[in-house]
Amino acid sequence: MYAVIKTGGKQYRVSKDDTLTIERLEGEAGGKITFEDVLMVGEGENVKIGTPIVKGAKVTAELVEQKRGRKVIAFKKRRRQNSRRKRGHRQNLTTVKITGISGA
């Protein structure tokens, strides 16, 4: 069984025991998280598509760790004008492991 969930402005296709890295969610390592925004859930020929979400469906996950992503550098330079700007950014991330999917 698999599901398509929405979190952090992105959509992810998940199934049981999947591990994925998403944008930061509140909680401590070892905690439980429930995703209520399930866009699609199904298995084989039996698929439910939400409008926009499937009523009563939810995905439960265990929070594995909180971390930060790699540094992304945005460097802008205007030639011959002695103008340049260097900015760095590290995104806060959460790693979760999917423990169950209920399709209702």
pTM: 0.83
Q: Give me the residue label for tokens 């340049």.
A: 84
Q: Which two tokens stand for residue 36?
A: 């209520």
Sequence ranges of the domains in the chain: 2-102
Calculate the average pLDDT of the chain: 94
Top pLDDT among 44 and 25 is at: 25
Q: Which two tokens stand for residue 38?
A: 């399930």
- Give the model confidence (pLDDT) of 32-80 as tens digits: 999 999 999 998 889 999 999 999 999 999 999 999 999 999 999 999 9
* 59 strand-pairing partners: 35, 101
**Half-sphere exposure (CA, 13 Å, Cβ side) for 102?**
10
